[in-house]
Amino acid sequence: MTQSCQGGREPQVPVRVVDPRSELVVDTHELVRHAGQSKQVRRVASAPDGLGVAMIGVPPGSPVALDLRIEAVVEGVLVTGTAQVKLAGSCARCLDLVESEDSIAIQELYCYPDKELDDPDASRLEGDLIDLEPLLRDLVVIDLPFTPKCRPDCAGLCPSCGANLNRDPDHDHGADADPRWAALAGLDVGSGTPDDVADNNEE
Ligand SMILES: [Zn+2]
Ligand SMILES: [Zn+2]
């Protein structure tokens, strides 16, 4: 979150070309240089690729519901609001599909292009355009659960055979477990395709 056009964040932003047709690009031409003017932007964009990390993220093409207030201030344009996204990934314990939603709080100042910046990393207007994608990318990753779980008390997998203990709470090998069979069952789970997860979804 950048509250000022000065300040010290680590440089990170490779130059990208802003596509005015992108659903994550907001045109501010009617506001710029009119401090105090504002407008509301409510729209549903589709998620770009690579929003998230390997284990969990926003499915590409899924709806991103933006509800934003765009306000011209002296140094640039201030964007505040939320982005509602869907998340999908794998439970860190049992590898089942994890689906949830996340409401990402947005508060970012986009400085005017001609404003001299002490901080080369402060967000900038591109002409009259605001590109929300880089911001969204950063905020989504910060907001992701560190270890996604299908439910808070997920029982995980049987350490011997890999059976899902959520579906089979009384699972027990007793004294006569066959280690050859255990190895096979373990392989099966390793392929990790969550195809029967409907009963395990979390809101
Ligand atoms: Zn789980
Ligand atoms: Zn087992």
Per-residue pLDDT of the chain (203 residues; tens, 9 = 90+): 445 665 444 555 556 678 888 999 999 999 988 999 999 999 999 999 989 988 899 999 999 999 999 999 999 999 999 999 999 999 999 999 999 999 999 999 999 988 777 777 889 999 999 999 999 999 999 988 888 999 999 999 999 999 999 999 899 887 655 566 556 555 554 444 444 444 444 44
How far is 86 from 91, CA to CA, in rounded Å? 15
- Expressed in angstroms and rounded, the spacing between residue 160 Cα and the centre of ligand 2 is 5
Domain ranges of the chain: 25-143, 155-191
Residue type, 106: I
Per-residue confidence (pLDDT) for residue 198, from 0 to 100? 44
| pLDDT at position 197 | 44
Over residues 53-93, the pLDDT tens digits come to 888 999 999 999 999 999 999 999 999 999 999 999 999 99
Asked if residues 179 and 80 have their Cβ atoms less than 8 Å apart, the reply is no
What is the rounded CA–CA span in Å between residue 201 and residue 203? Answer: 7
Closest CA to 32 of 134, 137, 141, 114: 114
Ligand 1 (ion): residues with CB under 5 Å are 91, 93-94, 96, 150, 154
Q: What angle do CA 100, 103, 104 make, to 5 degrees?
A: 125
End-to-end CA distance of the chain: 28
Beta-carbon count within 10 A of 135 CB: 21
A 10 A CB-CB count for 89 gives 21
Question: Taking the model in full, what pTM does it have?
Answer: 0.72
**83 C-alpha to center of ligand 1: Å?**
26
Please state the separation of Cα 175 from the chain's center in Å. Answer: 46
Judging by DSSP bridges, how do beta strands 97-111 and 129-131 pair with one another? unpaired
Find the 141 Cα to ligand 1 centroid distance in Å.
Answer: 21
Q: What is the pLDDT of residue 113?
A: 83
